[in-house]
Amino acid sequence: MSKHYEVLIIGGGTAGIMVASQLLKKNKKYKLAIIEPAQTHYYQPAWTLVGAGCYDYDKTARPMSKLIPKGCEWIQDFATSFTPENNLVSTKSNGTITYDYLVVAPGLAYDYSLVPGLENAIDKGVVCSNYTNPKHTWHVIKNFKRGTALFTQPTTPIKCGGAPQKIMYLAESYFKKKGLKNNIDIVFATPGGVIFGVKKIAETLMNVIDRKDINIRYNHKLVAIDAEKQIAWYELAKDVEAGGCVVISGENTAEQIDATFQYNYKDVKVTIDGNRYGIHFDMLHTAPPSVAPKFIQDSPLVNDSKWLDVNHHTLQHNKYHNIFGLGDVAALPTAKTGAAIRKQVPIVVDNITLLLKQNKMGTKSYNGYSSCPLVTDYGKMVLAEFDYNSNFIPDPQLKKMLIFDSSKEHKRLWLLKKYLLPYLYWNKMMKGKDV
């Protein structure tokens, strides 16, 4: 006989624990369970600071057992497949589990096959990633003395799209503090055509780029890493304009560079092989290519892009009406951040509570809110808050901290990132309290 729950939650990350905590605040008697194999829960937003040597990695970890709310059963297991027609989830060790309502929030997974060579290179030698091992990132940065420091990202959706550039800004600050700046060329190679999708934030960040003398290479699709030769291989995401020199080094002058490909040209070593451009690096930071976990991709719950297929505003599954999804796994056209989850959870909780009580949906609507705290220096930060339409929508509460324009760099925003947000996360968000 399989176990049955009113609400079954897949995933003990930010989304899963917040949903469970807020549901139990509504009604302590709900029969809830979370399926989550991991023993440790990490506050990953602080990993940017760990990678820059200004936050203790151990403080980002808490035992899962301390975070699963009282009244919610923890099934320490892997979900393996879904049979939504029968309201059934299969697990690796606990057989099948049935539910009245299912919340799918397992986060995302890394698929290194999308960038050949990266899996064997990452977190070794001069190749690092705050996403996987921020302690190794700090080791690389503090031991770097000269050459090309390449910061890049894949073309897939990733957690916090601004994270690959935050660590670059902090690394530049560190190099400058150590008197190494003249020995180092910093290059940011991005698949996008702009530094950030929200215009007001992009304007601030371009001023930061100018101040820090960083070379941006736009429309660069990362396709392979050669760790031995220290080359990151790219294909260009748009056609090279006739006569426009793009990434070739040597005799070409900055005046010849096509501005849609490069900003603030640096003559770093580049090898061309057919339609591929190889940027030579002496250190490399990247985010791993990200996908939905395999058991989600192989399920009937995904869209054509293999992400969880939910309504953009209600977060209800588009086909199975007793299934909801949120967090990084959801196919939502906004940034995958903890801040987005903070706004998604109350909508899922409201809908499930009303469905359980009155068999009807709530009226709350998710507007695509997400937020990216963009650390630009030790002691400075910009806070990008935006919706589905990339409108800049700062939180009115910031005025209480005397922050009147969060699109500009502020010391108080840095204090928010380093001290207040971790406190709110552990003591409010994880406990189902409104933040």
pLDDT of residue 328: 98
Catalytic residue among 72, 128, 245, 372: 372
pLDDT value, residue 249: 41
CB 414 within 8 Å of CB 375: yes
Residue 252 — very low, low, confident or very high, per pLDDT cuts 50/70/90?
very low
User: Is there a catalytic annotation at residue 160?
Assistant: yes
pLDDT higher than threshold 70 for residue 244: no
pLDDT, residue 258, reads: 76
Q: How far apart are CA 20 and CA 41, in angstroms?
A: 15
Establish whether 372 is a catalytic residue: yes
CATH of domain 112-285: 3.50.50.60
- Give the start-to-end residue ranges of the domains of the chain: 3-108+292-365, 112-285
Helical axes 14-26 vs 338-358, angle rounded to 10°: 40
Specify the pLDDT at position 127: 98
pLDDT tens, position by position, 196-224: 999 999 999 999 999 999 999 999 999 99
Residue 200's pLDDT is: 96
Encode pLDDT of 401-418 as tens digits: 899 999 999 999 999 999
Q: What is the pLDDT of residue 102?
A: 98
**Catalytic annotation, pick one of 72, 128, 160, 245:** 160
Q: pTM of the full predicted structure?
A: 0.95
pLDDT at 237 over 70: yes
Over residues 141-168, the pLDDT tens digits come to 999 999 999 999 999 999 999 999 999 9
Whether 173 and 378 have beta carbons less than 8 Å apart is answered as yes
What is the structure's pLDDT at 67? Answer: 98
Q: What is d(CA 170, CA 381) in angstroms, rounded to the nearest whole number?
A: 11
Q: Examine the pLDDT at 256 and tell me if it is beyond 90.
A: no
Q: What is the pLDDT of residues 110-124, one digit of tens each?
A: 999 999 999 999 999
Read off the pLDDT of each residue in 164-190 and give the average, rounded to a whole number.
98
Q: Do domains 3-108+292-365 and 112-285 have the same CATH topology?
A: yes
On whether the CB atoms of residues 162 and 350 are closer than 8 A, the answer is no
217-245: burial string, b at 16+ Cβ within 10 Å, e else: bbbbbbbebebeebbbbbbbeeeeeeeeb
CATH for 3-108+292-365 is 3.50.50.60
